Amino acid sequence: MRKAEIGRYGSAALWILAVAAAYYGSARLGLLQQLVRGQVTPLWPPTGVALAGLLVLGLRIWPGIALGALLVNASIGPSPLAVLAIVAGNTLAPVCAYLLLRRAKFRDELDRLRDVLALIFLGALAGMLISSTVGSGVLVLAGALQASNFWPTWSVWWTGDAMGVLVVTPFLLVLRRARWPRHAGLSRWIEAVALALGTLFATILATSTTSSALLFLVFPFLIWAAFRFQLAGAAPCALGVSTLAILAAAREAGPFAGQDLFASMVTLQAFNGTTALMALLLAAVITERNETHEELARVCTRLAEMVAFIEPRSDSNDG
């Protein structure tokens, strides 16, 4: 075997291990806020990690997803056979989401409205049907879950996986392309800090009071992030807001106090879904608008140069 091939396989193995470690680490964080049977959460970060890994590194890292899912579910699954089935569902879901996105010519930059819509409908809503259906069905067949609880568990599983894609995947894609803004002025830094602190304060206030109407306080800050910083600002803000809302729901505080699981999940996921969708869609629309404006400016500049080049010739012919 050639040295180049050995190096290529070694690099792939390292990436697989890195994805498995990231999957496992994010899963342990997600399980801290479990709501159903110690393993179903309103936000499942590993799905976002897995899909981002596939989008960046390709299908070659799918064993890392399977390995990470196996390590996570081995200790919480009802039986070895059920664990393997759940692992298969957790692996197939992001892989199918990745294939659907690539078929739709998805771009990792998320700078077009069509890319955001593809991530929402193909990556999150459609792709995560696999893991939620397989996982909930396996728990029922294994006797770890009553048949009457299939749909509540399925809904929490599906929305948790979908939220992982909508919140975590854009954040990781932005983080991958992040560069230190060397030419940013002091006013830009002040605005970014003000946005971060304002978003944090508004979210804490909204999740600390019993009125669910105050949850809308965070939306002006998400609009601010999308307009001024596009995806680089909208994705982190959406992740932070969703995380704080989930923490409040897990401890039954603020607008989630005194509610049963179903009512709490409806409120939480409606809020998180609206937050993620608004942030991503606005960021994509503003990015497209800015790119269109820049393209028009370039076209106008070229036309002005052409006119300036032609005008002297016209004057000399008249003479």
Which residues of the chain are modeled with pLDDT < 70?
1-10, 34-40, 311-319
Q: What angle do CA 207, 46, 225 make, to 5 degrees?
A: 45
Alpha helices in 164-260 (DSSP H): 169-177, 186-206, 219-250
Question: How many Cβ atoms from other residues are within 10 Å of residue 279's Cβ?
Answer: 31
Paired tokens of 149: 């609880």
Residue in this structure with the two tokens 């006119």, named with its chain if needed: 307
pLDDT tens for 51-71 read 999 999 999 999 999 999 999
- Phi/psi-derived region of residue 253, left when phi > 0, alpha when psi is between -120 and 50, beta in every other case: beta
Using an 8 Å Cβ cutoff, are 169 and 119 in contact? yes
Distance from CA of residue 265 to its chain's centroid?
Answer: 19
pLDDT of residue 306: 86
What does the alpha-carbon distance between residue 136 and residue 179 come to, in Å, rounded to a whole number?
A: 41
**HSE toward the beta carbon, residue 180, CA cutoff 13 A:** 1
Taking each helix axis as running N to C, give the angle between helix 80-103 and helix 62-73, from 0 to 180 degrees, rounded to the nearest 10: 150
Beta bridge partners of 36: 40
Residues of the chain with pLDDT > 90, as a percent, come to 57
Using an 8 Å Cβ cutoff, are 50 and 70 in contact? no
Output the 3-class SS for 246-299.
HHHHHCCCHHHCCCCHHHHHHHHHHHHHHHHHHHHHHHHHHHHHHHHHHHHHHH
pLDDT of residue 244: 92
pLDDT of residue 266: 83
